[in-house]
Amino acid sequence: MFYLPTKIVFKIEAVKLAALQIQSFGKKPLIVTGASSAIASGAQQDVKALFADYQIYAEIKENPELDSIMRGAEVFTQSGCDFIIGIGGGSPLDAAKAISVAAANQLNLDQLYSTELFQKAYPIVAIPTTSGTGSEVTQFSVLNDNRSGKKAGWGHPLAFPRLAIVDPRYTLSLSAEVTKNTAIDALSHLLEGLYSANREPLCFPMIHKGMSLIIKNLPRTLKDPSNLEARCALSQASIYGGMTISQGSTSLQHSIGYPLTTVFKVPHGLANGIVMKQIMKLYKPAVHGLLEEAFGSFHFSIEDFFAWLDDLNLNADVQITEEFITQRVPEVMSSRNMLNNPLEVTAEQIADIFLSLT
Ligand code: NAP
Ligand code: ZN
């Protein structure tokens, strides 16, 4: 089954073009964003121009914490907002979704993952300023429980943004590091569309196209960050990646990265990137044909891909200790994404992948 209720406007000057649609959701939006991305990208200015009244909530940090969701829901209610506009990378977009359901269902901190309590949501408009998570077209929200130090996601159909506004110009202000890490995140999502036991074959043409767009255009963008055509290609691939995981979800490729982010502060996309080869090798017996078909569609091979990845020089400073293995391997084993692996994965195999990083 393919279900994606989000309307997507993917265009230069998309906010202006979709002005009436954005305004149709209410009179006073809560603009949920991070410290600087909404302003640096230019998106906040474009959105503010559409409303006489709005409330800005700019307290979302990378890997949003539950506390910041609760405060956002409070601000939403107290300031009389009637819908939510998330502007930023995956962190503010995921936070916008969580704030929407938290405010609409009057959830408390302990209920932010209790999807069975989600009866309604305020409309969400998602405006990405990175090209990676695809959160603008998914029903997922990945949050960091600052009490347990555990990062985990939930998914609910009510959390699909009603409208995704994707203007690749907003990614022109990204640093090279964030550009690279987020493109690798999008690539992970596309690969997950082949890996997932819940894979949706209707997504395969998008997956193939998205992979080729990133492989061709990430090096071009890194060489010339102002190349708007290459930035457009990365935004397009990111949408395809989001559409892909919205149908088939993610697997070990993603859940193994979460502890690397919470413990060692490795950015999400980079955490996926440094285990990408190991996961591909692990899954290969189950997905060899699908990988060959995907890479073959743009005259690449798995070996070419590994060489391409090597050229990106992805690395992170992680010190894998025995304590880390003891604590975090069971956490990964118990994550909901593990149900989507294309073959059985053991705790020892996960430990081996972690240990390969030091
Ligand atoms: P992010 O955490 O949202 O942002 C990373 C950094 O980039 C922040 O410092 C941010 O600044 C900055 N930034 C963003 N846009 C910018 C721009 N245009 N110009 C300058 N700086 C900019 O990064 P992300 O990789 O997009 O999102 C990662 C999060 O998304 C993770 O928590 C991950 O788990 C989640 N995720 C969700 C899904 C989903 O389906 N929902 C899928 C994959 C990943 P500010 O601090 O000012 O914002
Ligand atoms: Zn991701």
Which of 59, 127, 133, 246 for mutating ligand 1's site (highest number of atoms within 8 Å of CB)?
133
Please write the tens of the pLDDT for every residue from 219-251. Answer: 999 999 999 999 999 999 999 999 999 999 999
Question: What DSSP state is assigned to residue 316?
Answer: -
pLDDT tens digits along 35-91: 999 999 999 999 999 999 999 999 999 999 999 999 999 999 999 999 999 999 999
Q: Say if ligand 1 is within 6 A of residue 36 CB.
A: yes
| Position 147 confidence tier, pLDDT thresholds 50, 70, 90 | confident
The whole-model pTM stands at 0.97
User: Of the residues 91, 188, 192, which should be mutated to test ligand 1's pocket, given the most ligand atoms within 8 Å of the CB?
Assistant: 91
Q: Would you say the CB of residue 170 lies under 6 angstroms from ligand 1?
A: yes
pLDDT in tens, 250-281: 999 999 999 999 999 999 999 999 999 999 99
Which residues lie at CB < 5 A from ion ligand 2? 185
**Within a 13 Å sphere around the CA of 63, how many CA atoms are in the beta-carbon half?**
21
Which residue owns the Cα nearest ligand 1 atom 42? 133
Ligand 2 centroid to Cα of residue 253, in Å, is 9
- Ramachandran angles phi, psi of 58, nearest 5°: -110, 40
Question: Which whole number is the average pLDDT over 300-320?
Answer: 97
64, two tokens: 């949003």
Pocket lining: 178 vs ligand 1, CB cutoff 6 Å: yes
Hunting for tokens 């995921």 — which residue is that?
Answer: 94
Which one, of 284, 287, 258, lies nearest residue 354 by Cα?
258
CA 207 to chain centre: 16
Do the beta carbons of residue 285 and residue 341 sit within 8 Å? Answer: no
Residue 289 pLDDT exceeds 90: yes
Rounded to whole angstroms, what are the CA distances from 325 to 251, 284, 354?
19, 24, 8
pLDDT of residue 178: 98
- Determine the residue type at 339: L
Q: Would you say the CB of residue 337 lies under 6 angstroms from ligand 1? A: no
62 lines ligand 1 (CB under 6 A): yes
Nearest CA to ligand 1 atom 39: 135
